[in-house]
Chains A and B, each alone.
Chain A
């Protein structure tokens, strides 16, 4: 319900209000000129805001110590994904210790809602949501991230290592 206020006598005195407003603007301007560090706004394209490292941005596929992809293609992330944006094609790995691995792992980032359920579902810490969040594209393409982009894009500097290591787990007798 909206409240309608009828114009009364007092609303005709608008000039004091304008002067007060200009005063506030002037105060802030002088403040920003004198001490630039306390300025609350950013010069956006040149300066960028740094979110914390826990920010849930674009996905990262982690890698093992030997640099191969950690993902075992169990499809739990794809099953858990509410936006159904993950598509995995599994295949047999020649190494019998690895057995199953993804030959294709695609995330349709435009469909993704960044809920982090994939990260939660993953049993081997193979997928994480990283802090990267500014990934514009010039055209409508290139928004389906493939396995190479997810694991080895330049900003990851050769891949992020997974916490879960099969060798260590086997040594512990699991």
Chain B
């Protein structure tokens, strides 16, 4: 365990760790492109140079192992000048088309330039022209002019996805990222290359030109695409959700996430959702407030206790299952509760990295709650009960993410054998609106609109917080359970001790009122 000093801060690192990792540990700023904590060291960008005491030349931090008593700094004039020049070299052939580049706003080049660069370019030669808008595969577009050849994407396909589609071709200033002829960048993790690209060279086809990144807010949550439960950030604004990116979690997903998981934002937006409560009877359709509809169900469930059954998918939070199952068991004595498994054949499959066959985020959580209440529903019983009409009212907590339930239509057909089908769910299922029996649809909130816990396939409990609200009328499963058991919803009283605008929540560059008054350029511009 060698100790070293980074910019005057003493830090202890593990044996064999590099200076870069010591910089990460002390949170000292250091310029770098090619180094990525999830990939091997390449040492190609030469941006992370730093001074080591007793060493006459600057060394790169990413490929120098810490030794005992090392004194490292990147604050000296020599290093600052060096970084500036390296940046200048990186930008020699960069087209500077930030206005049309999707990465602008979260670009490594922009950030490093503002932090370490700020030079006047001294290059008088013509820029080398390369290929623009190269179609690399079904998900990614390449702009080789913007590329700084950090080789992160190449190392990713070599080391993580192990598909080796990408490579660097040609030499010198004509070097370009590309795929081997006839091969496409087409694997289940391809969009990670877009995330790790420090510039706008690789852009996602799905997100391309849809929004400028500075219009988007982000919120950390847990992906509900499969039972791995990757930690993700969802990006949204008032127009809806736009993209999903992974967040580092050593225990779950590391730095990565799969391409399938990036599509989960699509079922969060309003056009893919039920927005009001719907009651269909004899082919006639009426709209209702979801709360009122859930409350109306109370009488029916109470009256027909023995003829009520419930189907749950693994797409809700532990808290919701607990509320729903306990209200069903304790309030009504309904124990016919069944677990809906969507793809039985590939349910336990795992690709070795992240993707799991169980496409529900909280199957483990559901099974735990069912076990706690000693419910052992077998799917065959439900099918038989529906056939011999012993189940007349069926409550289904349907899937949020419709895309992973391939055979949804056939299941809807099965459920429609019940006299009255109560469908609780967020995703719009069109086939429900053409059924002839009585159907009540209560719109639910998706996982980004509520707080809760998912238990992933490894048994890890992950709490997540609310990001935003898309459908304001929609209920959570907990609220539905409360309303269905005949109670009213109570508004949790906020106990505010401190003022809502907390001192420490202020942004550092936030302009306060006293300063605003002094800003004459802004406030006295009109008085000529």
Contacts and interface: CB of A to CB of B under 8 A. Distances in A.
Contacts of A96: 132-133
A124 B99 contact: yes
Contact of B209 (A76, A90, A123): A90
A73 interface: yes
A90 B100 CA distance: 10
Contacts of B98: 74
Contacts of A123: 99
A54 interface: no
B132 A79 contact: no
Contacts of B126: 173
B182 to A, nearest CB: 21
Interface string A162-174: 0000000010011
Given A100-B100, A100-B209, A173 B132 contact: no
A169 B214 CA distance: 28
Nearest to A94: B133
B131 to A, nearest CB: 8
B57 interface: no
Contacts, number: 35
Contact of A79 (B129, B209, B212): B212
Q: How large is the interface on A (under 10, 10 to 19, 20 to 34, 35 or more residues)?
A: 10 to 19
A141 to B, nearest CB: 23
Contacts of B99: 72, 74, 76, 123-124
B63 to A, nearest CB: 34
Contacts of A72: 99-100
Interface string B89-101: 0000000011110
Interface residues of B, number: 16
Contacts of B97: 99
A97 B95 CA distance: 12
B340 to A, nearest CB: 40
A122 to B, nearest CB: 9
B100 A99 contact: yes
Contact of A92 (B129, B208, B214, B215): B208
A75 B212 CA distance: 7
Interface in B125-167: 125-127, 129, 132-133
A74 B209 CA distance: 9
A173 B128 CA distance: 8
Interface in B40-73: none
B68 to A, nearest CB: 50
B100 A74 contact: yes
A120 interface: no
A91 B209 contact: yes
Interface of B: 97-100, 125-127, 129, 132-133, 208-210, 212, 214-215
28 contacts: A72-B99, A72-B100, A73-B100, A73-B209, A74-B99, A74-B100, A75-B212, A75-B215, A76-B99, A79-B212, A79-B214, A90-B209, A90-B210, A91-B209, A92-B208, A92-B209, A96-B132, A97-B132, A99-B97, A99-B100, A99-B132, A99-B133, A100-B209, A123-B99, A124-B99, A173-B125, A173-B126, A174-B127
Interface of A: 72-76, 79, 90-92, 96-97, 99-100, 123-124, 170, 173-174
